[in-house]
A and B are shown apart, each in its own frame.
Chain A
Amino acid sequence: MKFVFKFLEPNKVFLITSKAPKYVMALFMIVISIGLLEALIFSPEDYKQSHSVRIMYVHVPAAWISLGIFSSMTFLSLSGYIFKNKNFFLIAKSLAPSGLVFNVIALVTGSIWGKPTWGTWWAWDARITSMLILALFYFMYLVAWRIYENKDYVLKITTIITLIGIINVPIIKYSVEWWNTLHQPASINVLSKSSIHSSMLFPLLIMTAAFVLFSLLIFLMKYNTELIKIKNKGLDRL
């Protein structure tokens, strides 16, 4: 474990993270180009929803990633406390902005999709409301980092926010099964057969890969900024 932590030391990590963004950016451009062609041109329209189904290619990956990022932030914040390693908090903090943006994208594109499908822009439905609550947790997390000056206090507060917020993640996942919702049940299941056709699954996976690469790019840029900020303080102490 000590070896892993030594490898994760900011001084060593920066050598990789400072060079990685340009490669991630190049890869993102390639994958998103293929994804957009697939999503907007080559994938078929749905027999019920017609072309409006194409909104799924931005809505679903954004929702998946925002949930994934929040879960990772909770895991990292908790690990930071258990292993007394501040780098975990720094990684969690660097993930948060893209998590919030993906959450907002999921909400807004869901709302746009809702109009032609359900006839309304918004409904206080269990899935939509729980996603909105997740956005509030992201917001509280980011605001906490901005307003609290005391380092130890902010680590405690942000960990508490993620620990309370994580309760909402399984609620989001199972809301469509536990309650009667306007939102459709999951079409993709890891453990059982998915109900989505491969001609739609392929573009969805490509777009998900593109969104993952974009969140990685933003994470790397934000993490490098945080490390430079620390080094700026280090220069003040010289």
Chain B
Amino acid sequence: MINELIYMNGYGPYVWSAFLFTFISFTSLYVVTKIHYVKEKNKFESKFGALDSKKAEVARSQTINREILSRTSNI
């Protein structure tokens, strides 16, 4: 059963390499997108932290800014 699943009448290397390539592409795309997301979020948090209290209050008045700072926007 296992051997049949691996070799697939000689087509195993083709089938498995196609699925493996798809899996690697998915993982790479997910990781790269996640890295960009985390980088931008960290940049936002550090910029927000550097604001003086008056500017921070103005920025906090926007729902989207509060949402970015909240933990719920983590993927």
CB under 8 Å from chain B, chain A span 13-32: 14-15, 18-19, 21-22, 25
Q: Which residue of B lies closest to A61 (CB)?
A: B22
Contact A218 B33 (CB under 8 A): yes
Q: Which residue of A lies closest to B54 (CB)?
A: A238
Contact flags B24-57 to A (C-beta < 8 A → 1, else 0): 0110011001101100110110011001000100
Q: Which residue of B lies closest to A221 (CB)?
A: B33
Q: Which residue of A lies closest to B28 (CB)?
A: A101
A205 is an interface residue with CB less than 8 A from chain B: no
Contact B5 A40 (CB under 8 A): yes
Contact of B9 among A50, A217, A225, A235 (CB under 8 A): A50
How long is the Cα–Cα vector from A116 to B12 in the complex, in angstroms? 11
Q: A14-B64, A228-B44, A235-B47 are in contact. Are A105 and B21 (CB under 8 A)?
A: yes
Contact A221 B17 (CB under 8 A): no
A134 is an interface residue with CB less than 8 A from chain B: no
A232 is an interface residue with CB less than 8 A from chain B: yes
Contact A232 B40 (CB under 8 A): yes
Chain A binding surface, main DSSP class? helix
A131 is an interface residue with CB less than 8 A from chain B: no
A227 is an interface residue with CB less than 8 A from chain B: yes
Contact B40 A228 (CB under 8 A): yes
Task: Say which size band chain B's interface belongs to.
Answer: 35 or more
Q: Which residue of B lies closest to A102 (CB)?
A: B25
Q: A22-B75, A54-B8, A225-B36 are in contact. Are A236 and B47 (CB under 8 A)?
A: yes
Contact A55 B44 (CB under 8 A): no
Q: For A62, list chain B residues within 8 Å (CB).
A: 22
Contact A55 B18 (CB under 8 A): yes
Q: For B17, list chain A residues within 8 Å (CB).
A: 112
Contact A59 B47 (CB under 8 A): no
Q: For A41, list chain B residues within 8 Å (CB).
A: 5
Distance between A207 CB and nearest chain B CB, rounded to angstroms: 10
Contact B44 A221 (CB under 8 A): no
Q: A105-B25, A231-B64, A235-B47 are in contact. Are A51 and B11 (CB under 8 A)?
A: yes
Q: For A101, list chain B residues within 8 Å (CB).
A: 25-26, 29
Q: A11-B64, A235-B51, A238-B59 are in contact. Are A225 and B15 (CB under 8 A)?
A: no
For this complex, 13 residue pairs linking A to B, each with C-beta atoms less than 8 Å apart, are: A11-B63, A52-B8, A54-B15, A101-B29, A108-B18, A109-B22, A115-B14, A218-B29, A221-B30, A221-B75, A232-B44, A238-B51, A238-B55
A-B contact sample (17 more), CB < 8 A, given A18-B68, A235-B59: A11-B63, A21-B75, A45-B8, A55-B14, A55-B18, A62-B22, A97-B33, A98-B29, A105-B22, A108-B21, A109-B22, A214-B26, A221-B30, A224-B37, A228-B37, A232-B40, A234-B59
Chain A positions within 8 Å of B, measured between CB atoms, are 10-12, 14-15, 18-19, 21-22, 25, 36, 40-41, 45, 50-52, 54-55, 58-59, 62, 97-98, 101, 104-105, 108-109, 112-113, 115-116, 214, 217-218, 221-222, 224-225, 227-229, 231-232, 234-236, 238
